[in-house]
Structure 1
Amino acid sequence: MARKSSEPIQFTIEETIGVLSTTANGWQKELNLVSWNGAQPKFDIRSWSPDHTKMGKGITLTNDEMAALKETIQAAGL
């Protein structure tokens, strides 16, 4: 069943993989494994407030998408 837009988004950070950057106000751009609304965890890149109660816009990637991103970065020599 689809989530109603009035229902809050539920998330669980299953694993923190790494912090990519930190702003002066303490927000951190992080790579995590996140379960959204009880679904299978996905790789997630986004900014989080210091207490992880607020988040910025981000991107989620499946295992296959993360593998493709890794290959693309390596092929580019980065």
Structure 2
Amino acid sequence: MSEIPEGYEPAENSAAKNHAMDALEAELEKQGVEVYTDDDEGGIDLIDLADAVVEALLSAGVTIPEGISDPHAIKR
């Protein structure tokens, strides 16, 4: 595995965060929680929330498979 520059993360961690963000968004909307609002004061920052969830899992020893697909990847 090649060394990752400082400030970056492995692609699989980024992909896992995108999966977590999608799952959080879907569940919050299902529960009637306003995820996106028109002002800066309301809503939930799903990116930070997904980051926190995945970082907590990584800290607990969960590993993300290297081949995980990214649901937000640009298809070429």
Normalised by the length of structure 2, the TM-score is 0.28
The structure with the largest strand share of the pair is 1
Larger RCO, structure (CA 8 Å, separation 6 or more): 2
Normalised by the length of structure 1, the TM-score is 0.27
